[in-house]
Structure 1
Amino acid sequence: MRSGGSYCDPFSLYLQVSGTLGEGQAFLLDAARDAGPSQYRMSLIGALPLLEVQVKDGVVAVFAEAELASHVRGRLEEAGFHAGGVPTADGAGTRRFLPSVIESLAWSGHADDPMVLLEALRAILRDLQGAQKVPFSSGFLGYLGYDAVHYLERLPKTTVDDRGLPDIRLQWHAVMIHLQDDTVRVFDALEGLAKVYTPDAVRALAARIDQVRALVSSYMEHPVAPRFPEAPSEPAEAVDDVSQEEFEANVERAKAYIRAGDIFQVVLSKRVRVAKRVHPYAAYDRLRRLNPSPYMFMAEYPGFRLFGASPEAQFRAVGGVAEMKPIAGTSKGRGRTPEEDEQLRRRLLEDEKERAEHVMLVDLCRNDLGRVCQVGSVRVDAFMDVEPYSHLFHLVSRVSGRLRPDVSVFHALLATFPAGTLSGAPKIRAMEIIDELERYRRGPYGGMIGVIDFDANANTAIVIRTVVEHAGVYDVQVGAGIVADSDPHQEWLECGHKAAAVMDVLGVRRPMTETV
């Protein structure tokens, strides 16, 4: 269906769907209209979740609609999972979040091998696949937090888990809505679900799907501009989890590891906690206008919410071609005039430290893709372009390759996880140092968020420029890449530049110097 030649705003439609269906019944991947090339400008809305998988500290919990439960149980038991343990603490909330759930399933096996779980989930979706094979017409929407790396590598785990967020959270929805320019397409999973649902269950689900289709049609005929509560005039309180002095001391410690030959680069981050004064929808709406990005998102769960404006792809694969887009190299803000902007662009391109860091991370992407792509197919399609954002410029490259026939999209995702631009090089030693120097678990920050379908396609972004809302506060985490000639004070300032757009929409108007 088309919207009569006019642009259909993904966030406005998301609000209509979510507001009608209820809490947590929709998930938004929002490609900003004026950010990135056209192939990235398709937005997705998932509606009516039927299956959810959570992993936390090695415990796998699966929540499914009653008609799916038996099929899901069988597939997971075939993979070696056995019912046992207690559902996660979020179980009660998830029952509210999936109103028709009458059975929850929990497993606690294979926690050290996420590939077993992911491939079992992929098998479930393939069982329920219909004839329609449009990329991303069905699949998992969700995130893998940075801490999911502990299921892939043997790493220390000494940072404090002060929020208790799931390491992995994936959902499969009955409806997937595609929005691109003036075209809106609605796909549903009814054909495949008829293989396991009773006729009565099919009719009941069809009625819910028809409700979503009617919502989309109504919105396209009569678009409704969302209205949000006025932001308070008083500035929001913001507190860093580390003082400037501590952060700069950690930079010096990281440089000592570099001099000792342990690493070439490491990404150190800090978290800023902001008092919740601005409504999250209003903050997100302003963020997408102030800092439009190709990978924006809104994910609402019981007890917490994620929204952000990521500029950086983690991993993308369509039709067997995989792509990564490393961003490394940051200007010292933006200019007040076009002339000042041009000076900052030129200085960034001429900055030997930023260039060296960027080359290192492009090589890391080439190596990551080389592990899963056909020999000789990996290439650098774009190198060290300067891309503008609302508060800074970044150096950006694009690396691609053709996946080997024996590599699944899940294997490829995990082979490139986490991004070198959020960990360092070599990755494992850099992540050990991150665990030593940072105070709290990163949670979603530095992980990936996006969509993975059952036809070997994926489109995921790195979780940066992101807000985690929980317990009445907003958390924003930002990092800086530390190399041999890093200036500790400049790295502290770089974190401030990266956080500026998000801090602005949350109502922060003063320097963040206090610590928690």
Structure 2
Amino acid sequence: MYQPKFADFEAFAQRGNLIPVYREILADVETPVSVLKKLQHRDHVYLLESVEGGEKWGRYSFIGTDAGVVFKVRGPKVILEEKGRVSVREHHGDPLGAMRKLLGRYQPVATPGLPRFFGGAVGYLGYDMVRYFEKLPDAPPDDLNLDEAVFVISDSLIIFDNTRHTIKVVACAYMEDADTPEDAYQKACEKIEDMIELLSLPGGQSAPPPRTNGVSFESNMTPDQYKAVVEKAREYIAAGDVIQVVLAQRFCTPCTVDPVDLY
């Protein structure tokens, strides 16, 4: 049975334009990781889970998929991927303002029976985003060509209740994408059924990676370069110019392991 019922959904649609619809099923032998493996072929899938107090497993695990919107920050520009279209615009030094404007289009209505989180913008802010908030020295060369920030807004969410051993399959109905409440509700229910059918399929097994005698890592700095950075930090400390120094180097190695298996 879908929740909320359509009569309640129609009433919720008077209060906002984003209403989560869900169906609850038994988790059986599924785990968050086994479901993640079934969904990993999709773009922009994420898994959120946590440990409370350092030792107690969090009650909920969340898997998001079907990204309706992807928000990226790259240099002075914001890149939006939405419904197969890509738009690029300037953020004028305020990328989070652009994010705030994007999120302003949504007026979510909480559905009884769901945890507080039932979708939203999930992603990361890269370290260099701090340069939009503080005046800092010039950034080091970008040799990885990574986005400074990436957030996805997923239309579908799978919520594991690790206490009750159930799964809530959630589809967020965005009223602006539908002609009528009936249309929005029907599309959400169909999306839920498609997801449940996918969960019922046997999970694929990753081929074991070839065994090696050892793994070697390569740094992005030579030992002499790193020592020079340490000496410069010591000079700053002696001069009283810094209160904290983070000296880091990047170590890389080729990896053929399935990302989910690595997790």
Give the structure-2-normalised TM-score.
Answer: 0.76
Distance of 1:208 and 1:151 partners within structure 2: 39
Hey, what does 1:14 align to over in structure 2?
A: 36
Task: Report whether the alignment pairs 1:58 with 2:76.
Answer: yes
Distance of 1:32 and 1:214 partners within structure 2: 30
Residue number among 198, 205, 208 corresponding to 1:230 in the alignment: 208
Hey, what does 1:215 align to over in structure 2?
A: 198
Q: Which aligned pairs between 1:259-408 and structure 2 lie closer than 5 A?
A: 259-284=238-263
Q: Which amino acid aligns with 1:17?
A: L
Equivalent residue of 1:43, what SS? strand
Hey, what does 1:242 align to over in structure 2?
A: 221
Distance of 2:137 and 2:207 partners within structure 1: 44
Alpha carbons of structure 1 residues 283 and 109: separation in structure 2 relative to 1, 3 Å: closer
Confirm or deny: 8 A CA contact 2:79 2:87 kept in the other structure.
yes
Confirm or deny: 8 A CA contact 2:171 2:189 kept in the other structure.
no
How many residues end up aligned between the 2 structures?
Answer: 233
Runs of 4+ deviating beyond 6 Å: none
Distance of 1:63 and 1:16 partners within structure 2: 24
Shift of 1:185: 2.1
Confirm or deny: 8 A CA contact 1:237 1:275 kept in the other structure.
no
Q: Which amino acid aligns with 2:124?
A: Y
Hey, what does 1:197 align to over in structure 2?
A: 178
Residue number among 160, 164, 179 corresponding to 2:141 in the alignment: 160
Q: Which aligned pairs between 1:477-488 and structure 2 lie closer than 5 A?
A: none
Residue number among 170, 173, 194 corresponding to 1:187 in the alignment: 170
Equivalent residue of 2:104, what SS? helix
Distance of 2:223 and 2:196 partners within structure 1: 51
Distance of 2:183 and 2:87 partners within structure 1: 20
For structure 1, list consecutive stretches of 5 or more residues without a partner in the other structure: 66-100, 285-516
Task: Report whether the alignment pairs 1:3 with 2:26.
Answer: yes
Question: Cα deviations across residues 87-109 of structure 1 (Å, max 9, x unaligned)?
Answer: xxxxxxxxxxxxxx2x3222113
Confirm or deny: 8 A CA contact 2:209 2:257 kept in the other structure.
yes
Confirm or deny: 8 A CA contact 1:44 1:177 kept in the other structure.
yes
Distance of 1:178 and 1:208 partners within structure 2: 15
Confirm or deny: 8 A CA contact 2:44 2:152 kept in the other structure.
no
Residue number among 142, 153, 178 corresponding to 1:172 in the alignment: 153
Distance of 1:16 and 1:156 partners within structure 2: 44
Distance of 1:9 and 1:131 partners within structure 2: 26
Confirm or deny: 8 A CA contact 1:51 1:62 kept in the other structure.
yes
Residue number among 46, 56, 62 corresponding to 1:27 in the alignment: 46
Alpha carbons of structure 1 residues 277 and 63: separation in structure 2 relative to 1, 3 Å: closer
Distance of 1:26 and 1:130 partners within structure 2: 23
Question: Cα deviations across residues 275-331 of structure 1 (Å, max 9, x unaligned)?
Answer: 2343333322xxxxxxxxxxxxxxxxxxxxxxxxxxxxxxxxxxxxxxxxxxxxxxx
Shift of 1:273: 1.6
Distance of 2:170 and 2:251 partners within structure 1: 39
Distance of 1:148 and 1:173 partners within structure 2: 23
Q: Aligned-residue CA RMSD in angstroms?
A: 2.9
Hey, what does 1:471 align to over in structure 2?
A: none
Distance of 2:179 and 2:139 partners within structure 1: 49
Q: Which amino acid aligns with 2:45?
A: A
Equivalent residue of 1:189, what SS? strand
Distance of 2:187 and 2:232 partners within structure 1: 60
Shift of 1:206: 4.6
- Paired-residue identity, %: 24
Alpha carbons of structure 1 residues 3 and 208: separation in structure 2 relative to 1, 3 Å: closer
Q: Which amino acid aligns with 2:26?
A: S
Distance of 1:279 and 1:134 partners within structure 2: 31
Shift of 1:138: 1.7
Q: Which amino acid aligns with 1:64?
A: E
Q: Which amino acid aligns with 2:73?
A: V
Q: With a CA cutoff of 8 Å and minimum separation of 6, indicate the structure with the bigger relative contact order.
A: 2
Equivalent residue of 1:213, what SS? helix
Confirm or deny: 8 A CA contact 1:239 1:273 kept in the other structure.
yes
Hey, what does 1:496 align to over in structure 2?
A: none
Q: Which amino acid aligns with 2:82?
A: A
Q: Which amino acid aligns with 2:209?
A: A
Distance of 2:96 and 2:160 partners within structure 1: 31
Distance of 1:113 and 1:172 partners within structure 2: 20
Equivalent residue of 2:62, what SS? strand
Residue number among 118, 121, 127 corresponding to 2:99 in the alignment: 118
Hey, what does 1:106 align to over in structure 2?
A: 88
Equivalent residue of 2:78, what SS? strand
Distance of 1:175 and 1:209 partners within structure 2: 8
Equivalent residue of 2:128, what SS? helix
Distance of 1:164 and 1:122 partners within structure 2: 26
Hey, what does 2:19 align to over in structure 1?
A: none
Shift of 1:236: 3.9
Alpha carbons of structure 1 residues 25 and 267: separation in structure 2 relative to 1, 3 Å: closer
Distance of 1:206 and 1:107 partners within structure 2: 35
Distance of 1:256 and 1:236 partners within structure 2: 36
